[in-house]
Amino acid sequence: MSGISEVARRAGVSKSTASRALGSTGYVSEDTRERVARAAAELGYVPSTSAVSLATGRTKNIGVVMPYLNRWFFAEVLEGIQEALLEHGLDLTLYDANPGSEGRARIFDDYLARKRFDGLIAVGLEPDHRELERLVAIGRPMVSVVGSGETTSLVAIDEEDAARRATEHLLALGHERIAFLGGRPDQHWAQVDRRRLGGYTSAMEDAGLGAGIRHIHSDVTLPGGYAAAVNVLGDLRERPTAIVATCDEVAIGAIIAARRLGVQVPSALSVIGIDDHEYAEMFSLTTLKQDPRAQGRAAVDLVLAHLQDPHRPHSILRQRATMVVRSSTAPLAPDRSAAVTDARA
Amino acid sequence: MSGISEVARRAGVSKSTASRALGSTGYVSEDTRERVARAAAELGYVPSTSAVSLATGRTKNIGVVMPYLNRWFFAEVLEGIQEALLEHGLDLTLYDANPGSEGRARIFDDYLARKRFDGLIAVGLEPDHRELERLVAIGRPMVSVVGSGETTSLVAIDEEDAARRATEHLLALGHERIAFLGGRPDQHWAQVDRRRLGGYTSAMEDAGLGAGIRHIHSDVTLPGGYAAAVNVLGDLRERPTAIVATCDEVAIGAIIAARRLGVQVPSALSVIGIDDHEYAEMFSLTTLKQDPRAQGRAAVDLVLAHLQDPHRPHSILRQRATMVVRSSTAPLAPDRSAAVTDARA
């Protein structure tokens, strides 16, 4: 996270003006306030807050709602939130809102309405229309991690951009038969996977490969990626030369599937993911790295900022994923059929 | 979980006597109370409680302390706890007490002392002497998941028994060069890994193979198992024919390492784990299955039972792991060097 000086420099104002513009007191023109807010958002700057004084007389408790606890991204975000709350002397109340579960309905109908928290962090929640109404009715500051940022402050990576750059990396290596692996268009199709598919699609179209766009459906888990890849890689005529996976767990599943089938990665198949999962290094996976722990910490900073200033406008902190090139991606082999034969020898 | 009738039958008393013995009111002899309590513990019976009435006037909140959020076992236990608490209308306050971290000290010194919960569930916490004193001083009902059961009620599997049976499975298949993989004797060596090593050790000794006992140190993670196994399997003279891994994540790391090195599983190397991790099926892993989600639910039942009856004696619910045989284990090949040569052809 950047400091106030960098925000001031970017907005072209003095440090004290930037401070005033971001605080709730002191006069600055609307134009300046907007300019500073934009600079702060671009730099990912969040004003530091003293949670202890903030929380006096409140519940000293922040609620966290997330659909899964046992997936890497969610566990990492939760660790980041927990670390930051501890530093501020605040408790964390956890609500596990599994999509479609009875428990989820109960959380929205009963638990959240009790308002036993000062603010709420929703991680990858993707509320439906009715759920969103309930959330708004609570009237507590709320920050989303992953999401659209339409109704709340948001911390996320630019999903489309990450998948687009993953695809462009493979295009630059000479690949054309590039498939997108992960997610399926049903009621639980996460918006995040949709956005990543969108990034892949636009990169393919821009490269004149619109006719070759291919979405291989799978559960967004390591075994899900494995099962789908076994199916696809077993078919020699249909096999892509490269895969953009919707996340590293799916990508690693695909790599394990390729190894089982004797398809050499990367000489016969390139695979790229999004995340930089804790297993990525071990599988030499090229990926677009994000830092979910830092996103959790930033969400805490934001929710505290909203508590300090209830009139604070929403912020969108959308960070850019960083490309990490390892050895799961390589230039398209000059004679691909030879590479395949090699692998099966 | 069994019903009250089964407890009564096992203890050789009437259903109503069993009820009185397990409740806090009504006379039964000390001897009967003990007999019924033992039967209840053996059957894993926990009296059902109405949390809503229980919690009236209390915080309606159960604290959960665990050292890791991002490992399979802990995430599954947490899901089980969350599910059960939701059903009882209770909130979950989470404390992430990473061993050796500054946050952990703060949790013990400040957070827990605030007593913002009616009861506490400690998952794999392994408190040191000072921490244990703090916990006792809180004076709230507490249940441990994984642990010794010396000072609190406990839900766990019989760790020694699980590792012993894993080892005996390999011995029955004709293996003698069996190594135990995972954990390392340093300050964060979890008691659970120590107990599992103990089960392996006694099985080896009982088979007259005490001289062949070998503990390969590794981090208790998938990449940890991978790194240690790459090291060991690369050395032909030192290579074991079978591995008992301290958990499935470590076992799967070893299988991935074996595949990378061209060591065929199971013809040249058998691998067995403990857990039945979500990836176990995909790697055809033979394992001793436990159900951490059910352990989380049982811990909630127990903490509520303690809330209902503060004088309730501690219960130890130690379940037996179930063997699941898949294809990562096989009889020792008659000529092992042939199998190795095959794999390298």
B34: left (phi over 0), alpha (psi -120 to 50) or beta: alpha
Each residue of B100-112: b (16+ CB within 10 Å) or e?
Answer: eeebbebbbeebb
C-alpha–C-alpha distance, residues B179 and A279, integer Å:
24
Shortest CA distance to A207 belongs to which of A217, A199, A216? A199
Pairwise pLDDT comparison (A203 vs A23), residue with the higher score: A203
pLDDT at A228 over 90: yes
What is the pLDDT, as a whole number, of residue A338? 44
Q: Tell me the residue ranges of DSSP E strands in chain B.
A: 61-66, 91-96, 119-123, 142-145, 153-157, 178-181, 215-216, 242-245, 270-275, 286-289, 316-319, 322-324
pLDDT digits (tens, 9 = 90+) for B118-166: 999 999 998 888 888 888 888 899 999 998 778 899 999 999 999 999 9
Domain ranges of chain B: 4-56, 61-157+292-321, 159-289+324-336
Residue B94 has its nearest CB partner, among A82, A221, A256, at: A82
Closest CA to B78 of A74, A158, A321: A74
Using CA atoms, how far residue B64 sits from B7, B35, B85, in Å, is 29, 31, 11
Residue of B nearest to A84 (CA): B103
Tokens of A33: 């306030």
Q: Cα separation of A268 and A175, whole Å? A: 11
Tell me the pLDDT band of A25, cut-offs 50, 70 and 90: very low
- Range ranked top by mean pLDDT from B29-38, B45-54, B256-265: B256-265
Give A141's contacts (C-beta < 8 A, 6+ positions apart).
A118, A119, A120, A303, A306, A307, A310
**Chain B: closest CA distance from residue A86 (Å):** 7
Ramachandran area for residue B167 (φ above 0: left; ψ -120 to 50: alpha; else beta): alpha
Angle of helix B222-233 versus helix B248-260 axis, rounded to 10: 40
pLDDT surpasses 70 at B343:
no
Token pair of A40, please? Answer: 């702060």
pLDDT category at B26 given cuts 50, 70, 90 is low
CB neighbour list of residue A185: distance below 8 Å, 6 or more residues apart: A217
pLDDT at B44: 63
Scanning every residue of chain B, which has its alpha carbon at the shortest distance from the alpha carbon of A222? B279
Note whether A75 contacts B70, CB cutoff 8 Å. Answer: yes
Alpha-carbon span B297 to A268, nearest angstrom = 47
Q: What is d(CA A308, CA A119) in angstroms, rounded to the nearest whole number?
A: 11
The answer to whether the Cβ–Cβ distance between B89 and A75 falls below 8 Å is: no
Tokens encoding A251: 């990508």
C-alpha closest to that of A316 among A64, A166, A147: A147
pLDDT, tens digit, 9 for 90 and up, residues A250-270:
999 999 999 999 999 999 999
Using the predicted structure, report yes or no on whether residue A27 has a pLDDT greater than 50.
yes
What's the pLDDT at B128? 86
In the predicted structure, residue B344 carries a pLDDT above the cut 70? no
Q: Mark yes or no for CB contact B279/A222 under 8 Å.
A: yes
B165-211: per-residue pLDDT in tens? Answer: 999 999 999 999 999 999 999 877 889 999 999 999 999 999 999 99
Tokens of B301: 């039942």
- In angstroms, the Cα distances linking A231 to A217, A234, A240, A254 are 11, 6, 12, 10
Q: Which fold has domain A159-289+324-336?
A: Rossmann fold (3.40.50)
User: Which chain A residues touch B if contact means CB-CB below 8 Å?
Assistant: 61, 69-70, 72, 75-76, 78-79, 82-83, 86, 89, 91-96, 103, 106-107, 110-111, 116, 221-223, 226, 256, 259, 278-279, 281-282
**Helix extents (H) in B88-189:** 102-106, 129-138, 159-172
| Closest CA relative to residue A90, chosen from B91, B110, B123, B131 | B110
pLDDT given for residue B345 in this prediction: 37
Nearest C-alpha in B relative to A280: B223
* Contact (CB<8Å) B282/A256: yes
Cα–chain center distance at A92: 21
Q: Report the complex ipTM.
A: 0.78
Q: Do B69 and A72 touch (CB under 8 A)?
A: no
| Separation between Cα atoms, residue A313 and residue B292, nearest integer Å | 43
- Contact call for B69 and A75, based on CB within 8 A: yes
| C-alpha to C-alpha distance for B151 and B141, rounded to whole angstroms | 11
How many angstroms separate the CA atoms of A332 and A172, rounded? 10
Alpha helices in chain A (DSSP H): 4-11, 15-22, 30-43, 51-55, 72-87, 102-106, 129-138, 159-172, 191-206, 222-233, 248-260, 292-308, 336-344
Count of pairs with CB atoms under 8 A, one residue in A, one in B? 91
Confidence at residue B333, expressed as pLDDT on a 0 to 100 scale: 79
With beta carbons less than 8 A apart as the criterion, state whether A22 and A36 touch: yes
Q: Higher confidence at residue B335 or residue B15?
A: B15
Q: What is the distance in angstroms between the CA of the first residue and the CA of the last residue of chain B?
A: 52
A61-157+292-321 against A159-289+324-336: fold identical: yes
Q: Which of A2-11, A127-136, B260-269 shows the lowest per-residue confidence on average (mean pLDDT)?
A: A2-11
Mean pLDDT score, A193-213? 97
Q: Do A92 and B94 touch (CB under 8 A)?
A: yes
Do residue B222 and residue A96 have CB atoms under 8 angstroms apart? no
Confidence of residue B50 (pLDDT cuts 50, 70, 90): very low
C-beta separation of B88 from B300 below 8 A: yes
Tell me which residue of B111, B113, B117 sits closest to B58, measured CA to CA.
Answer: B117
**pLDDT for A344:** 41
The span from the CA of B98 to the CA of B67, in Å, is 4
User: What is the CATH topology of the domain spanning A4-56?
Assistant: 434 Repressor (Amino-terminal Domain) (1.10.260)
Top-confidence residue, B326 or A333:
B326
Alpha-carbon Rg for chain B in angstroms: 22
Question: How much is the pLDDT for B135?
Answer: 85
pLDDT band at B48 (very low <50, low <70, confident <90, very high): very low
Tell me which of B69, B101, B255, B263 to substitute to probe the interface with A (most A C-beta atoms closer than 10 Å).
Answer: B69
- Take residue A184 and report the two structure tokens written for it: 């399926």
Q: Does residue B60 have a pLDDT over 70?
A: yes
Interface list for chain B against chain A, based on CB atoms closer than 8 Å: 61, 69-70, 72, 75-76, 78-79, 82-83, 86, 89, 91-96, 103, 106-107, 110-111, 116, 221-223, 226, 253, 256, 259, 278-279, 281-282
Q: Encoding tokens for residue A11?
A: 């907005």
pLDDT for B187? 74
Distance from chain centroid for Cα B18: 29
What percent of chain B is helix, strand and coil (3-state, nearest 5)? 45, 15, 40
Determine the distance in angstroms separating the CA of A11 from the nearest CA of chain B, rounded to an integer: 37
Q: How near does any CA of chain B get to the CA of A213, in Å?
A: 29
Contact B278 A75 (CB under 8 A): no
What the block records as the tokens of B97 is 């007490």
pTM: 0.81
For residue B152, give the 3-state DSSP assignment: coil
Give the model's pLDDT for residue A26: 53
Q: Considering only CB atoms, which chain A residues are within 8 Å of B285?
A: none
Superfamily in which the B61-157+292-321 domain is placed by CATH: Response regulator (3.40.50.2300)
Residue A16 has pLDDT above 80, yes or no: no
Q: Where do we find the tokens 């039972």?
A: B305
Q: Do A96 and B75 touch (CB under 8 A)?
A: no
Q: Which residue of A has its CA nearest to B262?
A: A259
Neighboring chain A residues of B94 at a CB cutoff of 8 Å: 78, 82, 92-94
**B227-272 pLDDT, tens digit each:** 999 999 998 888 999 999 999 999 999 999 999 999 999 999 999 9
The pLDDT of residue B47 is 53
Asked if B75 lies within 8 A of A76 by C-beta distance, the reply is no
Q: Decide if pLDDT at A56 tops 70.
A: no
pLDDT, average across residues B280-305: 97
Under 8 Å between Cβ of A136 and A122: no
Contact status, residue A255 vs residue A286, Cβ threshold 8 Å:
no
A66 and A97 Cβ atoms separated by less than 8 Å: yes
pLDDT digits (tens, 9 = 90+) for B207-220: 999 999 999 999 99
Looking at per-residue confidence, does B96 or B172 come out higher? B172
